[in-house]
C-alpha cells in the first residue's frame, strides 16, 4: 500500500513519536493533519513539513474532550480532503497510588488514553463507512498485556484500547476499513529522558515511526515491537505475582505528565512515563 496522495490525521503530534509519524507520512507524499494542545509546536511541525515540500495542516484540541477533538478533526478534513488514515496516538502515563488513591489521575488516563481514541475514531468513521474505505490505527502499549504494580490505571487504559480496537476490527470486517493496534515498548523522547531507570530495548522516535508506518503499509492487525520486549512481557503474564513484584521492586521514575497527553512506554513500578 502507498500513502501517496492520501490524507492522514495524527493526534498527539506536537512531539515524540506523533511528530515523527507526521513527518514520515509527509515524506511519503501523504497530506497530514496534526492534532494536539500546543499550537506553537503544531505550527512549527507544519512549517517543517511544508519546507520539505509536503502538505500539512493543524488543529488544536484536547483529545479527552469530545467537543474539542471531533470538530478539530473535521476542520482538518475540510482543509485537506477526505481522511484515509487516522492514527490515534495521544496518551498519558501516571503512576497509580493506593496511599492515598489518586483516582483523578486514573480518570485522566482513561479519558485521554481510551476515550481519546474513541472520540478520534468517531470523527472519521462515518465517512469511511460511507466511502467503504479507510484505515483506523491506535497507538497502545506493550503495557496493555500485563497489569503491573503501581501502574494499574495506565495498563488498564491501554488494555481497554486493545479490546476496543479488536472488536472494531472484527465488526468492520468486510466493510473496506482496516484496523491496526500498535503496541510499542520504550521510545526515546524528551519525556523518557527524565526516567532514572534502565529502559530495555530503548528506541529512537524516528525509527519507531518508520517501523509503525511500514506496519500500516502492510495493514497489520496488531503490531507489537520490539519483539524481544513483547516476548518478555507475554512470558511475564505466566509468572507468579511475587516474582513480578520482586522484579519491579525498587524501580522508580519521575512522575511527570506530557503536556500533550501521550505516553506508551512500558512503565516500571511507581513510574509515570511519557514516551511519545
pLDDT at 245: 74
Q: How confident is the model at residue 271 (pLDDT cuts 50, 70, 90)?
A: very low
The tens digit of pLDDT for each residue in 14-45 reads 989 999 999 999 999 999 999 999 999 999 99
Q: Which residues contact 242 (CB under 8 A, 6 or more apart)?
A: none
Domains of the chain with bracketed CATH: 7-248 (3.40.50.720)
Q: What is the pLDDT of residue 227?
A: 85
Residue 255: per-residue pLDDT? 40
> Residue 82 has what DSSP assignment?
S
* pLDDT averaged over every residue in the chain: 87
Instruction: Give the mean model confidence (pLDDT) for residues 64-87.
Output: 98
Return d(Cα 91, Cα 263) in angstroms, integer. 5
Sheet strands side by side (includes 222-224): 56-60, 31-36, 7-11, 85-88, 134-139, 177-183, 222-224
pLDDT tens profile 89-134: 998 888 899 999 999 999 999 999 999 999 999 999 999 999 999 9
How much is the pTM?
Answer: 0.88
- Tens of pLDDT, residues 215-246: 999 999 999 998 888 888 888 777 787 777 77
pLDDT, tens digit (0-9, with 9 covering 90-100), for 125-153: 999 999 999 999 999 999 999 888 888 99
pLDDT band at 250 (very low <50, low <70, confident <90, very high): very low
DSSP conformation class of 100: T
CB 181, CB 159: distance < 8 Å: no
3-state secondary structure of 201: coil
The pLDDT score that the predictor gives to residue 181 is: 98
Q: Which residues pair with 183 in a beta bridge?
A: 224
Q: Is residue 140 within 8 Å of 183, Cβ to Cβ? A: yes
CB atoms within 10 A of CB 110: 17
Average pLDDT over residues 66-85: 98
> Which 8-state DSSP code applies to residue 81?
-
Tell me how far apart the alpha carbons of residues 124 and 194 are, in angstroms, rounded to a whole number. Answer: 35
- Based on the residue annotation, tell me whether 154 is a catalytic residue of this protein: yes
Which member of 145, 154, 164, 223 is catalytic?
154
Burial tier of 227 (Cβ tally within 10 Å: 0-12, 13-18, 19+): exposed
How confident is the model at residue 248, as a pLDDT? 65
Inter-residue contact 219 to 165 (CB < 8 Å)? no
Amino acid at each position: 500500500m502507498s500513502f501517496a496522495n492520501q490524507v492522514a490525521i495524527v493526534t498527539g503530534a506536537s512531539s515524540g513519536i506523533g511528530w515523527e509519524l507526521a513527518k514520515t507520512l509527509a515524506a511519503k507524499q501523504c497530506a497530514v493533519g496534526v492534532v494536539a494542545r500546543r499550537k506553537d509546536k503544531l505550527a512549527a511541525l507544519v512549517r517543517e513539513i511544508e519546507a520539505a515540500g509536503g502538505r500539512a495542516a493543524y488543529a488544536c484540541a484536547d483529545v479527552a474532550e469530545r467537543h474539542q477533538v471531533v470538530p478539530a478533526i473535521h476542520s482538518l478534513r475540510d482543509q485537506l480532503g477526505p481522511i484515509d488514515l487516522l492514527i490515534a496516538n495521544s496518551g498519558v502515563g501516571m503512576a497509580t497510588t493506593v496511599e492515598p488513591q489518586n483516582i483523578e489521575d486514573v480518570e485522566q488516563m482513561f479519558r485521554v488514553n481510551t476515550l481519546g481514541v474513541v472520540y478520534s475514531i468517531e470523527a472519521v468513521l462515518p465517512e469511511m463507512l460511507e466511502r467503504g474505505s479507510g484505515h483506523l490505527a491506535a497507538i497502545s502499549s506493550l503495557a496493555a498485556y500485563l497489569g503491573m504494580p503501581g501502574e494499574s490505571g495506565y495498563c488498564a487504559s491501554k488494555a481497554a484500547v486493545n479490546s476496543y480496537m479488536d472488536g472494531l476490527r472484527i465488526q468492520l470486517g468486510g466493510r473496506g476499513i482496516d484496523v491496526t493496534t500498535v503496541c510499542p515498548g520504550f521510545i526515546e523522547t524528551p519525556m523518557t529522558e527524565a526516567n532514572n531507570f534502565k529502559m530495555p530495548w530503548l528506541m529512537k522516535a524516528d525509527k519507531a515511526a518508520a517501523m509503525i508506518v511500514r506496519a500500516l503499509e502492510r495493514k497489520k492487525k496488531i503490531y507489537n515491537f520490539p519483539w524481544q520486549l513483547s516476548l518478555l512481557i507475554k512470558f511475564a503474564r505466566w509468572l507468579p505475582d511475587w516474582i513480578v513484584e520482586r522484579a519491579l521492586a525498587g524501580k522508580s521514575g519521575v512522575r511527570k505528565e506530557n503536556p500533550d497527553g501521550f505516553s506508551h512506554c512500558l512503565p516500571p513500578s511507581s513510574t509515570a512515563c511519557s514516551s511519545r
